[in-house]
Amino acid sequence: MAITATQNDGVSLTTNKVSYGLVETDVDIITSGRRRIPAHSGVLASASPVLTNIIKTPRKSHGGSSKKVIKILGVPCDAVSVFVRFLYSPSLTEKEMENYGIHLLALSHVYMVPQLKQRCTKGVGERVTAENVVDVLQLARLCDAPDLCLKCMRLIHSKFKTVEQTEGWKFLQEHDPLLELDILQFIDEAESRKKRRRRHRREQNLYMQLSEAMECIEHICTDGCTLVGPSSNLDDNKSTSQVKTGPCSAFTTCYGLQLLIRHFAICKKRVDGKGCLRCKRMIQLLRLHSSICDQSESCRVPLCRQFKNRGEKDNKMVEDTKWKVLVRRVASAKAMSSLSQSNKKKSEVLFKEEAEDFIRIRKKLF
């Protein structure tokens, strides 16, 4: 990194090899190993506001020298050398990041070098392991690196049993109980979020299944299916098997509902008033359909109009909050399903039209 004179700060960088012969240095950086690194105050001041204040502060000369002295202690000498070189030319090798990433992160925070701090945050985050994650987390909190903190927290959460056996965790338990509490709270909140997401997915699956069941009930009672169908679709000259269509796309749900409807029609327990769980389930499905149906006058689903009229008269049913929530969410799932199917049909039609156009053009050309 050769340095040539300029009008602004007296230096400019031309190569990657360090050479201080062209411009006289006016600052000495002293490391922990008493190594002296010559530097230029203009370069340091332009890269770091902290170094700017240090350079501007009047200091006594050492040994009659006119050079200012800046002490950077507490980190390896080679890390300080890499730090100074970065101030001249912002570049780091993978090996330097591997060896001095943690030290450079601390230096970049102390001396307010945002570009270096950003690189070190990313580099250290890519190299953090279960063995050193506690140490990295403590440093990230001190250096105000929230992205690195979050990455360490997530790693501790995912590999807590391994981290719990490390020396860093044992040291943390003895000397920093507040940080330990923060980590445990983060893990507890993460587990709670995971449980909420699972519960939400289960609920959504249930609503989608109920929505599919509502569509199948309408399909069975309106169009007919393999086992059960409306009596008006039957022709005197044709058998039931000839008139009815094949199984629908949701065959599993449709077939189960058909069996439930057949049971509901012939169940003796329901007629005798003894009660039947399968019949109660069927009644709940019919009631749910009635709550969602907006065409009760022309609807062919059994008991739809009766449940609708009963619901208007029965105040308890109207005020049942849980039932209203269920109806609203099933209706929403049904609308989303209809929209998805509509978009799918449109894409299929568009694809078919494009294929026909392609075949037509190809015939013209050949």
pLDDT band of 6, cuts 50, 70, 90: very low
End-to-end C-alpha distance for the chain, whole angstroms: 66
Q: What is the pLDDT of residue 347?
A: 62
Asked whether 338 and 330 are in contact (CB, 8 A), the reply is: no
| pLDDT(234) > 60 | no
The pTM (predicted TM-score) of the whole model is: 0.65
**Which of these ranges, 51-60, 237-246, 324-333, 348-357, has the smallest mean pLDDT?**
237-246
Residue written as token pair 């069941």: 213
DSSP β-bridge partners for residue 39: 27
Q: How many helices (H) and strands (E) does the chain have?
A: 17, 5
Q: What is the pLDDT of residue 227?
A: 58
- φ, ψ for residue 321, nearest 5 deg: -65, -45
Q: What is the pLDDT of residue 19?
A: 45
Q: What is the mean pLDDT of the chain?
A: 79
Q: What is the pLDDT of residue 265?
A: 81
**Could you report the per-residue pLDDT of 148-177, keeping only the tens digit for each?**
999 999 999 999 999 999 999 999 999 999
CA-angle at 327, arms to 321 and 328, nearest 5°:
90
Smallest Cα–Cα separation from 119: which of 137, 129, 107?
107
Both tokens of 164, joined, read 């719990």
Q: What is the pLDDT of residue 342?
A: 59
**Could you report the per-residue pLDDT of 301-336, keeping only the tens digit for each?**
888 888 877 766 555 545 577 878 888 888 888 777
| pLDDT(14) > 50 | no
pLDDT band of 243, cuts 50, 70, 90: very low
Both tokens of 341, joined, read 């199917």
Asked whether 190 and 183 are in contact (CB, 8 A), the reply is: no
Q: What is the pLDDT of residue 295?
A: 80
**Could you report the per-residue pLDDT of 40-61, keeping only the tens digit for each?**
988 999 999 999 999 988 765 5
Mean per-residue pLDDT, 188-203 = 93
Q: Which residue has the higher pLDDT, 244 or 169?
A: 169
Q: What is the pLDDT of residue 268?
A: 78
